[in-house]
Chain A
Amino acid sequence: MTIETKRLNDVVIRFAGDSGDGIQLIGTEFTNATALLQNDLGTFPDFPAEIRAPAGTLAGVSGYQIHFGSHEIHTPGDDCDTLVVMNAAGLKKNVEFLKKGGIIIANEDGFDNKNLRLANIDENDNPLKNGSLDGFSVFTAPITKLTREGIKDFGLGTKETDRSRNMFVLGLISWLYNRPLESSIDFINKKFSKDRTIAEANIKALHIGYSFGETAEMFAERYEILAAPMKPGHYRGITGNQAASLGLVAASQKAGLQLFYGTYPITPASDILHELARHKNFGVITFQAEDEIAAISSTIGASYGGSLGVTASSGPGIDLKSEAMGLAIMLELPLVVINVQRAGPSTGMPTKTEQSDLLLAYFGRHGEAPMPIVAANSPADCFDTIYEACKIAVEFMTPIFFLSDAYLANGAEPWRFPEAKDLDSITPQYAKVDGTATQKYQPYLRDNRLVRQWALPGIKGLENRIGGLEKEDITGNISYDSKNHEKMVRIRAQKVENIAQSLPDLSFDAGAESGKLLILGWGSTYGTIKTACQELKKEGIEVSHAHLRWLNPFPKNLAKILSSFDKVLIPENNTGQLQLLIKGKYMVDAVGLNKIQGQPFTVSEISNKVKELLA
């Protein structure tokens, strides 16, 4: 049988199986190989909060979706072209995401009576046999048996042997989509560098998976996806949390500051801690505190001492940090607060994405306590956005919120990375001792932007006391004077507003500068909105898209932009938080598109709403 190679423009593959099946590993390794082939790509890991839910159950299903192509890709794709499932539960939970006529590759050993039972499927109703998948191209193989047989000579136990199944799958799918195995082999060699037997067994499983595709006479065609035309430059693949971590190291190096990262483990922010803890050779201090409050408090202490202080958490942890953020606002010290948002309230759905903490970032502190807020719009953009957050925190002597979310944090994409020398400078606003000054140091004296100075302990002549009690203007002494209080409240607010003066105008990602409909987005909806606009344009529907990185203060030209359109659509993974702010601040009757399902928008959800509004 001749196997034809068919060229595709883009493909969406979804891997699903038990969380013990190594699905995330298949996904990330397939992604690496794909990135090296210079396809543009977007990924979406979708895994349960339980570390090991009972094997084979619906609760234990872990998924990983990758969208790659020979053109620009900005999302992990809506529905998938190919669904790879390791067991019955994986199929049951994911078949709804498969396009009509799509490919299913199933491990038939994962559909035995036991697995069917665990997936709450009647033993006599095996979906691989009952005709329910007739609309799809179904390929099944006894992957467990084939792997066991293929690597039996290595003498591994059943558990170790079965863990290599994922490499069989990776090999098979690499064959099907013409991906080389080199990067996967490199990875296996590194991961199992201490146990050659396991490394060799996994490499063997990878190869037999690959050969199986070629020899099993199951597939009539295989696929190739050419490199995407991308902006010239050096690229790597990166997740949002990695990009944020590197952005922090870069900012601390460029600012000449020690990075102090005080945090408490929480999903989905912990990977930033893991990444930073590896970079101690940059003088990075990672402090795993006893709780969220100590995490931010220790960071404030480090900021006071002259470090670039950064604390991170997700929703519940951010709640706990509120009081300390108020202190940082009062002390006017640089502090970056990272919120990798997840579905709330309370513990909510810890591994699922949501954009529901925008109003928390805005208003989640007692008193008049304004904080600047920036939000990243893609995994790689986490680097630029957090770098900018650090710059503003240091140069404006202010705590600042950096918003990411589970979708960005875990998602990966190619990143055209910068050279360190090309990054913006960051200039700390140090207080210096003026030899001619006759007065003692005034900690709340400000420059024309209303920014006070950073007076580091250890410098003679700068001894001063600051604290959470209201400050007297200029001297910083405790003051209960009513007029002074109002003055200070307004100064703190104006200082945050003044940041807008140093920001570029909001620009358009798509469409004209005026017209019938503007889609105004923020954060992780960027890629989906962008793709929706591109697809709508192909259909002859022209809409404009502007995406906010700065949520507080808003860009100077936002009012003008909003008034240039008949309608404004704000898609958000919340019940309408930016919409509320835009309505309140600009009196614009913006329309919301809201999805609160722990999942990002699909492109069609956005474009259908656009069509509805333009109808």
Chain B
Amino acid sequence: MTEVLQHIPEVFTAKDLVTDQEVRWCPGCGDYSILKQVQTVMPNLGYKKEEIVFVSGIGCSSRFPYYMDTFGMHSIHGRATAIATGLKTSRPELNVWIVTGDGDALSIGGNHFIHLLRRNLDVNLLLFNNQIYGLTKGQYSPTSVEGQVTKSTPFGSLDHPFNPLALAMGADASFVARSMDRDPKHLQQMIERTAKFKGTSLLEIYQNCNVFNDGAFFTYTDKETKAGEALFVENGKPLIYGEGNNKGIRLNNTTPEIVDLTTGEFSTTDLWVHDEKDYLKSTLLTRFFDSPDLENHFPRPFGVLYAKERPCYEDAVHAQIAYAKEGKEADLDSIIRGRQTWVVK
């Protein structure tokens, strides 16, 4: 009987994650969907509610922790990644999530973002990318497209945007994925993969800001264009997209090519088979970043683009401490004394 009691799982439901705080995103904001999908997936991940911590920076996305009845910290602009690094390093058993946006993670927090990825702590990073500064009411962000007209760029943005996933690959990220607010099922799958991966898991979520940048990603989310513009990748499966799966990507030596699967010249067996553990091919995939306006542009990939585990920083830190403890007793008096002492009588 006692044994049974000890094994009662700490069950909680999506409803238990809702706080008493009124959600204050603009009506119609893509953030609502992301919150809903996270709350839906979270109870199935095997963590106790009190072990979960959400850390955010500043921006619309960063209000997220207030709406999750877990532990949470709404910190300062750009620093959620650094704060989470300290938290996870010191408390490796916690389930740490970072919620950030394109301005927070890639502009003011750009430095911490790449260093988090390089160190590879076992944390989950949800990057809400809406290609705009929403909370400050509509200035261009480091992911805004060239020419984008915003409040601070009335004649069009001159900045060349970041490709966040390629940037992450450059920083030796171990897990890189992309999803979108308007595909709840895919987003749930991706959140689950993100959560279950051991290492820094970066999930970029295309999120619509219906007030300042409405429709930025409609090409990939709308029924009319989604099939032809969004490439959903799955590990071990060929890269196929298009209306009725009429197109594919093949690798001609090292050069990706779009091929028509309806002419009979190419079949699915000719196609590039996605291998999420192949760093070089995944890097190529993150480089599918063409503007949809370009002729013969590649489709934008969604799904887990890269996932290959490597040692996590916090594990190495604690292994080193354990090793040091084995070698030398922690005797406070001994270090206070030091090597050379003398006595005055």
Contacts and interface: CB of A to CB of B under 8 A. Distances in A.
- Decide whether A and B are members of one complex: yes
A587 to B, nearest CB: 37
Given A297-B86, A301-B86, A463-B71, A183 B76 contact: no
A285 B74 contact: no
A420 B338 CA distance: 13
A155 interface: no
Interface in A281-304: 281-285, 287, 289-291, 293-294, 297-304
B343 interface: yes
Contact of B336 (A35, A283, A301, A420): A420
Interface residues of B, number: 58
A307 B94 contact: no
B89 A233 contact: no
Interface in B8-51: 10, 19, 21, 48-51
Contact of B342 (A38, A293, A303, A326): A38
A129 to B, nearest CB: 42
A284 B87 CA distance: 14
Given A305-B91, A465-B72, A457 B50 contact: yes
A463 B49 contact: yes
Residue from A227, A290, A459 having most chain B Cβ neighbours under 10 A: A290
Interface stretch (A161-169, A245-253, A524-532, A550-558): A245-253
Contacts of A234: 337, 341-343
A419 B70 contact: no
A231 B320 CA distance: 41
Contact of A237 (B69, B335, B340): B340
B7 interface: no
Interface stretch (B140-148, B221-229, B325-333): B325-333
Given A281-B327, A287-B89, A323-B76, A460 B49 contact: yes
Contact of A301 (B69, B72, B85, B93): B85
The range of chain A's interface size is 35 or more
A279 interface: yes
Interface stretch (A71-79, A138-146, A466-474, A588-596): A466-474
B71 to A, nearest CB: 4
A180 B58 CA distance: 62
Contacts of A291: 111
Given A236-B340, A293-B82, A468 B51 contact: no
B83 A35 contact: no
Contact of B82 (A38, A233, A298): A298
Contacts of A250: 332, 336
Residue from A280, A289, A302, A459 having most chain B Cβ neighbours under 10 A: A280
A300 B53 CA distance: 14
B82 A294 contact: yes
B53 A281 contact: no
A253 B332 CA distance: 8
A38 B19 CA distance: 65
B111 A281 contact: no
A283 B321 contact: yes
A301 B50 contact: no
Contact of A467 (B65, B111, B325, B340): B65
A32 B338 CA distance: 12
Given A294-B111, A300-B86, A301-B86, A281 B344 contact: no
Nearest to A475: B20
Contacts of B337: 234, 236, 417
Contacts of A32: 340
A167 to B, nearest CB: 19
B163 interface: no
Interface of A: 32, 35-36, 38, 183, 227, 230-238, 246, 249-250, 253, 258, 260, 262, 279-285, 287, 289-291, 293-294, 297-307, 309, 323-324, 326-327, 331, 416-420, 457-469, 477-478
9 contacts: A234-B341, A279-B335, A291-B111, A417-B336, A418-B336, A463-B70, A465-B19, A468-B76, A469-B74
Counting from the closest, the 3 A-B pairs by CB-CB distance are A467-B74, A301-B86, A298-B86
Given A183-B340, A302-B86, 15 more contacts: A235-B342, A235-B344, A236-B337, A281-B324, A285-B317, A290-B82, A294-B112, A298-B86, A301-B82, A302-B90, A304-B83, A457-B51, A457-B71, A465-B72, A466-B72
